[in-house]
Chains A and B, each alone.
Chain A
Amino acid sequence: MEKNTEIEVSKAACGKCGTVLQMYLRASAYSVVCSSCGAIHNCYNGEPELTNHIVGKAADSHISVGIRGTLKGIPYLVTGYVYKKENGTNYCWEEYVLFNPVHGQAYLSQFDGHWMCLCEMADIPSATGLVATHDGSTYNLYSKYKSKILSARGEFVYKIDPSETPIVEEYIRPGYLVSKERTKDYATWYKGEYIQPSVIKSSFQLASVPETKGVGMIQPFLGKFSQEGLRKVFIFLFIFWSLLQFYFTFASREEIVFEQPFSITDSLHGKEINSRSFELKGGTCNAEIQVHTNVQNNWMCTAVTLVNEKTGDIFDVGLEAEYYYGYTDGESWSEGTGWVSKVVSQVPEGTYYMVITPEKPTSVPVVNITVTVIRDVFIMSNGLIVLALLSIYPIYYHFKKNKFEKQRWYNSDYSPYENNDEDNY
């Protein structure tokens, strides 16, 4: 990791241990902290003056102070590093102070391998109860705690006071956050944005970044894909599907090409009856065979074979109609219908006849049936299958997102999920 040579570094000795303090901001900084002993110096007059305050010695940071990197198109110099913890817990995180003389300061925060970039807000959100609103967006309270500085190094434009334990309130909208840091002397709002670890790695030319653990507080679901973008894709697909259905409904000819009544007596029961011949036109497409019966409180079963007179190709279907009705316990009821149909797909054009093999109950002397063939019908089921296939991903997305959100809120005292203690966290 090479340090940028354009920036002039001034050096001075730490007033406590004598270690060289490297200063980039010099008098523009309020405090400079020794990387060796943690002694805090005031440096607003250009030269470091030792104070009575001291912080812990900073452990190795992932990004070195003095490194330059470009984030969100803005070149930054890393001027400070702070290691903080939530008071009363073991949660610790890193904060890097990024400096640009034109665009001002930004802060990079890293916890469990998840990074976010924060900037001080020029205005302040409106916060009431568990919600904060800013620029028309709503943020939900995720955490409220006191933070404490464990260690630090580098320069800071504000006074570093390790005895301070500011109250921090964090409100999130996946991908973004607004947070308030408050002491008796200041109440500062920051706006943060999730930064992919790979972006941090390339921006600061790091050899490695810490591995991510779990779901980050503001980590967006599906990384770069926005929920709004996915929603638009599915709306487009649904409209496309609807238009396609509309087209096929109107494009289907639904032409009755054959209709013949038969009276099925005991002598025809189980016997083969040949129909008259009929033409199926229009290339290869489907044909619907309908059988209408007059059965009442009974059944009628018919095997129909469609036979191509020229090629001998056959298409078999079995059709069973049953219709029952009655009056029980003061209520009328009915079940089934007296007619039945089946669609035969991919029937080539040509001259056909049908072999009908009816079966009826012996208790009924005669059953009248009418066999109808309709060429090129619209099949709703095909459309429903497409719709079902299109729905698989949204349903999968919904469940995956739900699980992701539960993981996100697992560490929060303000989780909107009731059962937040699944085993796999």
Chain B
Amino acid sequence: MLSVIVNKSVCPSCSATHQLSIALPLFAGCVSCGCVYFVDKEKVTTKTDLKAMPVQPFSIISVGTKGKYKGTEFEVIGHIRSIGSGAISNEWLMKMATGLLLWLCECGFNYSVFDPRPVKLTQDHIRHIKAGEWMSVENKDYTVTDLSKQVEFQMEGQLPEECFNNEPYFEYNAIDIKDKGLLSVCIFDKNTIEGFRGQSISLNSLELSGMDKFKSWI
């Protein structure tokens, strides 16, 4: 069974009640009216001006989807949709049965799982790097596959406060040729550069609860 912190919040826009799955402070999306609001440590809610997330008819994963990753059950509790300068990426927050949080990411219908614990980087790591060139992080050489800038941010479900970022920021995606490990470098400002490590995965391996609807596509 998943471990859940029993807690509730009330939507400041439509007064719908939501059960919270993660510790405060957090951002939550109202399933009734689609508005996104902030819940601080004292459970005070503040409405944001984020737009509701549009319908994606072919999305297999949504808030509430359950599955297994490396043998451990998880439930999707939050979803970020980031519109970049060249493509759209989806990031679903997986709450593992162990309590651990991981990100299930998708771009161009290619899927990967990322560890939310960042590797602190400096400008030296990324200085003058272009697509196709390599960068060295923690003694590993990564080849940069794309550079993009977030132009729009959307969310649903629940996210820890530190994961909410509706400001434009730059992102480098890179891959290690040797072990096929992924690295996503987020440049929030010149002093805040974080790298996140991940691995490519096959959607079929996750035993997703939402897969039944897509049987004809398997």
A interface residue numbers (CB < 8 A to B): 6, 8, 24-28, 30, 44-47, 75, 99-105, 120, 122-124, 126, 157-159, 161, 180, 182-188
Contacts and interface: CB of A to CB of B under 8 A. Distances in A.
A70 B86 CA distance: 29
B132 A187 contact: yes
B45 to A, nearest CB: 25
Contact of B57 (A8, A104, A159): A8
B55 A102 contact: no
Nearest to A106: B109
Interface stretch (B68-76, B140-148, B160-168): B140-148
A26 B54 contact: yes
Given A102-B217, A184-B131, A30 B175 contact: no
B185 to A, nearest CB: 14
B108 to A, nearest CB: 5
Interface string B105-117: 0001111000000
A182 B131 CA distance: 7
Contacts of B145: 124, 186-188
Contact of B87 (A6, A122, A123, A157): A157
A122 B110 contact: yes
Nearest to A104: B109
Contacts of B57: 8, 24-26, 28
B143 A124 contact: yes
A124 B146 contact: no
B60 interface: yes
B131 A157 contact: no
7 contacts: A26-B57, A27-B56, A30-B88, A102-B214, A157-B87, A158-B108, A185-B147
Contact of B109 (A6, A46, A157): A157
B48 interface: no
Nearest to A9: B57
A120 B108 contact: yes
B194 interface: no
B218 interface: yes
A45 B59 CA distance: 14
A46 B86 CA distance: 17
Given A6-B216, A186-B86, A120 B110 contact: yes
Nearest to A123: B180
B175 A188 contact: no
A184 B85 CA distance: 13
Given A124-B177, A188-B145, A44 B83 contact: yes
A103 B217 contact: yes
Given A30-B86, A186-B146, 19 more contacts: A26-B55, A27-B55, A30-B88, A44-B54, A44-B83, A44-B88, A44-B152, A101-B59, A101-B217, A104-B109, A122-B200, A123-B177, A124-B177, A157-B109, A158-B86, A182-B131, A183-B131, A186-B131, A187-B131
Nearest first, the 5 A-B pairs at minimum CB distance are A46-B54, A187-B132, A104-B109, A27-B54, A186-B146
Given A25-B58, A102-B203, A187-B131, A124 B175 contact: yes
Interface in B91-140: 108-111, 130-132
Nearest to A46: B54
A75 B216 contact: yes
B51 interface: yes
B20 interface: no
B24 interface: no
Given A103-B217, A185-B148, A187-B132, A159 B55 contact: no
